Amino acid sequence: MDNLLEVQDLQVSFFTYAGEVQAVRGVGFSLGRGETLAIVGESGSGKSVTSKSIMRLLAKSAKIKHGSIRFEGKDIASLPEKQMQDIRGRDISMIFQDPMTSLNPTMTIGKQITEVLKKHRKLGGAEANRRAVELLDQVGIPNPDKRLKQYPHQLSGGMRQRVVIAIALACNPKVLIADEPTTALDVTIQAQILELMKKLQQELDTSIVLITHDLGVVANMASRVAVMYAGKIVETGTVDEIFYEGKHPYTWGLLASMPKLHEKSEELTAIPGTPPDLSDPPKGCPFAARCPYAMEICHEYMPEYTEHSETHRAACWLQDSRAPKVQSPLAGGD
């Protein structure tokens, strides 16, 4: 496949007064054209740090220590900020969880959209305005002419996220990184925004990296999934491989904690325990302390990836030929 984005052995740390926190510990994945890759995991798994590394929007205390981020073959991990500014918003755009963090409260919607168009597309005033109206229309905002003159606070949360999507798509980016794009919205609006993203992706052929903790969103949106835990990708596969043939006990735990139809949310089985402290990461499998199947070796050595298909691999000692055979709880339906 001809990959648009290729991340290899990415390592990102935060340097705090208390020492180094290894938030991302050797992450690698690729993104093909027009594809949606979901990165899933609990909060603190390193998924947002990964996405911010791609955008080069990390906090000052964070540093990319190692690895490469190739966009159309060119490593952008160490690109000077000036050059990165040309790529950001034009080739790679990002949508965050809370639309208010990406919108400027003191600027009209229109100004915020036309600024992007003027900067990256070198459009003149009238042309940029015309395009802004078009964009708002495309993301399903009624009366775009009127909306352009309004400020973010005059719009509902769902409408604001539509504006953010319009801005993100203003320059037809090749890659869209959506970090929990619907988490802050109520359920009906969530579904609408996801539908909108799907529709736009088909129209514009944008590739999407979707960061989420919600496997329901993954099933609905993605073609491939990377499961992250404690700064590592522990399993990756197609949606079917992850949902029906998942190999990693953490993946099983995530799937078990997914609300099922006809089940009240109180009946969810959250994975007991907490993720490891990444200022002092465990030397073995990072999931060992919470894993019901942990063996002695798990605490001592990090498992390598085992390939189950061209698209499916998992890092777990259970996949070793010498390990006891464990029946996947996914087998045989529910």
Residue numbers at the binding site for Mg ion (CB under 5 A): 48
* Contact map string, positions 295 to 314, toward ligand SF4, x by CB under 6 A: x--x----x-----------
Assess 228 for contact with ligand SF4 (CB under 6 A): no
Q: Which does 48 bind (CB under 5 to 8 A by kind): ligand SF4, Mg ion, none?
A: Mg ion
Choice from 293, 306, 308, 330 touching ligand SF4 (CB under 6 A): 293
- 8 Å CB contact between 221 and 181: no
298 touches which of Mg ion, ligand SF4, none (CB within 5 to 8 A by kind)? ligand SF4
Question: What's phi and psi for 200, nearest 5 deg?
Answer: -65, -35
- Give the position of tokens 């991302």: 24
Provide the mask over 229-258, with x wherever binding to ligand SF4 is found by CB under 6 A and - wherever it is not.
Answer: -------------------xx---------
> What are φ and ψ of residue 107, in 5° steps?
-120, 145
Piece of 5-13, 116-124, 212-220, 284-292 that binds ligand SF4 (CB under 6 A): 284-292
- Transcribe 138-157 into DSSP letters: HTT-SSHHHHHTS-GGGS-H
Residue 298: both structure tokens together: 């798990």
Residue matched to tokens 């409408």: 159
Q: Letter for the amino acid at 139?
A: V
Burial class (CB in 10 A: 0-12, 13-18, 19+), 257: middle
Token pair, residue 126, equals 């009238």
Q: Considering the complex, state which of residue 84 and residue 295 has its C-beta at the smaller distance from ligand SF4.
A: 295
Cross-strand bridge partners of residue 207 = 175
From the list Mg ion, ligand SF4, none, pick the one residue 288 interacts with, judged by a Cβ distance below 5 to 8 Å according to partner type. Answer: ligand SF4
Among 170, 241, 288, 313, binds ligand SF4 (CB under 6 A): 288
Among the residue ranges 26-34, 125-133, 212-220, 315-323, the one whose residues contact ligand SF4 (CB under 6 A): 315-323
* Interface residue with ligand SF4, options 89, 147, 291, 312 (CB under 6 A): 291
> Least distance to Mg ion from the beta carbon of 179, Å?
6
- What is the distance between the alpha carbons of residues 182 and 197, in angstroms, rounded to a whole number? 11
Q: 3-class DSSP state for residue 276? A: coil
Q: Verify binding: residue 318, ligand SF4, rule CB under 6 A.
A: yes
Pick from 188, 182, 251, 174: which is nearest to 212 by CA?
A: 182
By a kind-dependent CB cut-off of 5 to 8 A, residue 140 interacts, out of ligand SF4, Mg ion, none, with: none
Q: Give the nearer residue to ligand SF4 in terms of CB position, either 239 or 318.
A: 318
Q: What 3-state DSSP class applies to 315?
A: strand
Q: Which residues bind ligand SF4 (CB under 6 A)?
A: 248-249, 285, 287-288, 291, 293-295, 298, 303, 316-318
